[in-house]
Amino acid sequence: MTDDNLIRAADWLRLAERVCVLTGAGVSAESGVPTFRASDGLWEGHRIEDVASPEGFERDPGLVWNFYNARRANVKTVKPNPGHYALAKLEERWGDRFTLVTQNVDGLHRAAGSKNILEIHGSLHRTRCLCCAKVEDRGLEPLGEAPECPHCHGQLRPDIVWFGEALPNDIWEPALVAAHECDVLLVVGTSAVVHPAASLIPVAKGRKQPAAKVVEINLTPTEASRHADVGLYGPSGQVLPKLVERLG
Ligand code: APR
C-alpha cells in the first residue's frame, strides 16, 4: 500500500457527507476466523450445497448444524481485531450517515462497537424456527444437531442466508440505499464474487454524479478492483487503523 493512495483515500473520506462500507470474511481473518475461498478456507473442507443451502438442510439438518456449531465454537474464542475497531471509530465521525454492510455472520463488528450494521447474510448468533418463524439471539453456545424451538418445539435452522435464498428485504433495501447515496464506499476483505452483495459496488459507482469513490482494502486485487478508484493492499487490521490515523 503506497502512502499516496492512503492520502487520496483519506482526502476523499474527509470530504464525504455519507460513507458506506462493505465487509467480507477478510476483515475477520486476523481475528482467527477462517475465510471461505482461501486455500485453507471453509469451502475447501465442505460442499456449499451440503452445508449452506436449503436443500442441504432438508437432506441432512444434523450435518448443517454440526457445520454451524463448529463455526459458532470458533467465533466464541475470537475477538475483534484493530480493523473492526477502526471501522467503529470511523462510524463515530459520521454517525447515522455511516452504514456498515457486512457479509460476515460472526458478530465481530458489533463486538467492536459498530452500531449501524446491516448483516445481509444473517448471524451465527441467531436461530430461526421453521414452524413459528421466531428469530432468537442464542449467543454462541453449542446447540446440538437438532435444536428445538423453545416456544413451539418446532425445528430450528441457523438464521443465515444460504445460497439460493433471497436476502431479507428489510436489510437489503437499506444496504442498496446506503451504497447509492454514499460519497465513499470502502470495500474491505471480500472477494466480491457473491451476489447480490457484490452488486453494491457498481451501485455506488452508478449513482448520480459525482459517482462515489470506491476504496478497496484487501490483501490482493479482486473482482471489486475494476470498480475501485484506489486499492490499499495489505492486512485490513493494519490498513484500516492507518486510514483512520491519516484522516486525523
Ligand atoms: N485483510 C484484508 N483482506 C483479507 C485478509 C486480511 N487480513 N485476509 C483475507 N482477505 C481477503 C482475501 O484476499 C479475499 O479477497 O478477504 C477475501 C475473502 O474472500 P472470501 O473468502 O470469498 O469471503 P467473502 O468475500 O466474505 O465471501 C462472501 O460468500 O461463501 C459466501 O456467505 C459467504 O459471506 C460469504 C460470501
The response to whether residue 244 sits with its C-beta less than 6 Å from ligand 1 reads no
Q: Tell me what the mean pLDDT of segment 152-178 comes to.
A: 97
CA 206 to centroid of ligand 1, rounded, Å: 24
Query: How buried is residue 116: exposed, middle or buried, by Cβ count under 10 Å (0-12/13-18/19+)?
Result: middle
Q: Quickly state the pLDDT bin for 208 (edges 50, 70, 90).
A: low
Q: Tell me what the mean pLDDT of segment 223-248 comes to.
A: 97
Cell numbers representing residue 161 in the block = 442466508
Q: Tell me what the mean pLDDT of segment 234-242 comes to.
A: 98
Q: Where are the domains positioned within the chain?
A: 3-33+79-121+167-247, 34-77+123-160
CA 148 to centroid of ligand 1, rounded, Å: 32
The response to whether residue 31 sits with its C-beta less than 6 Å from ligand 1 reads no
CATH superfamily of 3-33+79-121+167-247: TPP-binding domain (3.40.50.1220)
Closest residue CA from atom 5 of ligand 1:
26
The response to whether residue 81 sits with its C-beta less than 6 Å from ligand 1 reads no
Active site residues: 121
What is the C-alpha separation between 60 and 145, in angstroms, rounded? 10
CA 42 to centroid of ligand 1, rounded, Å: 11
**Sequence-ordered list of residues with C-beta below 8 angstroms from that of 145, at least 6 positions apart, any chain:** 61, 62, 65, 66, 69
Predicted local confidence at residue 176, as pLDDT: 97
Angle formed at CA 79 by CA 73 and CA 85, multiple of 5 degrees: 145
3-state secondary structure of 179: helix
Angle formed at CA 150 by CA 145 and CA 154, multiple of 5 degrees: 65
Sheet (strand 184-188) strand order: 117-119, 98-102, 19-23, 184-188, 213-218, 230-233
Predicted local confidence at residue 40, as pLDDT: 86
Ligand 1 atom with minimal separation from the 43 CA: 30
Ligand 1 atom with minimal separation from the 190 CA: 25
The response to whether residue 102 sits with its C-beta less than 6 Å from ligand 1 reads no
Check if the beta carbon of residue 30 is closer than 8 Å to that of residue 235: yes
**Sequence-ordered list of residues with C-beta below 8 angstroms from that of 215, at least 6 positions apart, any chain:** 9, 12, 184, 185, 186, 187, 228, 229, 230, 231, 232
CA 218 to centroid of ligand 1, rounded, Å: 9
Check if the beta carbon of residue 80 is closer than 8 Å to that of residue 3: no
Q: Quickly state the pLDDT bin for 65 (edges 50, 70, 90).
A: very high
Q: Tell me what the mean pLDDT of segment 101-111 comes to.
A: 98
3-state secondary structure of 126: strand
Check if the beta carbon of residue 120 is closer than 8 Å to that of residue 175: yes
Predicted local confidence at residue 247, as pLDDT: 96
pLDDT per residue as tens digits for the range 28-44:
999 999 999 988 889 88
Closest residue CA from atom 29 of ligand 1:
194
Q: Tell me what the mean pLDDT of segment 55-69 comes to.
A: 97
CATH number assigned to the domain with residue range 34-77+123-160, chosen from the 4 options 3.30.1600.10, 1.10.760.10, 3.40.50.720, 3.10.350.10:
3.30.1600.10
Angle formed at CA 43 by CA 175 and CA 83, multiple of 5 degrees: 50
Check if the beta carbon of residue 66 is closer than 8 Å to that of residue 227: no
